[in-house]
Amino acid sequence: MKKENKYKASKILEEVSRLKKEYPEAVYSPGPSIVTCSYSKGHVKNGPKTKGCPIGQAIRNVYPDLFEKVKNGYDTEAVDEVLCSTEIVCSEKQKERLLKIQANNDDLQKWGKC
């Protein structure tokens, strides 16, 4: 019997879509002391009471145990590093979507546009 991975990129993407509909005006700002995006540090304006980017918030909502592993943030390759260093089932297309969302977020775009 094939072992099934616990985490699915499709669920993360579904939650990102829900968040961008619920909080289209939200903007993640890493803050002056944070050089790069972080999943649990920074500030979100016009959004949920969280300190992370939309992907970090989605992971927090659907996979709290995975969030505990990745919450301290990564460098500019954040999503790529998370996808490669965890057990997330992710197609190349899903990976590209997550990387695009991350890039838009890093450019301080509103979640509705990410």
Where are the chain's structural domains? Answer: 7-106
Q: How many residues does the chain have?
A: 114
Phi then psi dihedrals of residue 77, to 5 deg: -95, 30
Q: Cα–Cα distance between 107 and 110 in angstroms, integer? A: 9
Place of tokens 């500019």: 76
Share of the chain above pLDDT 90, in %: 32
Please report the pLDDT score of residue 3 as a whole number. Answer: 44
For 10-27, the pLDDT digits (tens) are 999 999 999 999 999 999
Please report the pLDDT score of residue 4 as a whole number. Answer: 57
Q: Which residues of the chain have pLDDT under 50?
A: 1-3, 76
CA–CA distances in Å: residue 112 to residues 19, 42, 52, 72, 104 = 8, 19, 15, 25, 10
Please report the pLDDT score of residue 111 as a whole number. Answer: 93
- Crossing angle of helices 54-62 and 78-85, in 10° steps, is 30
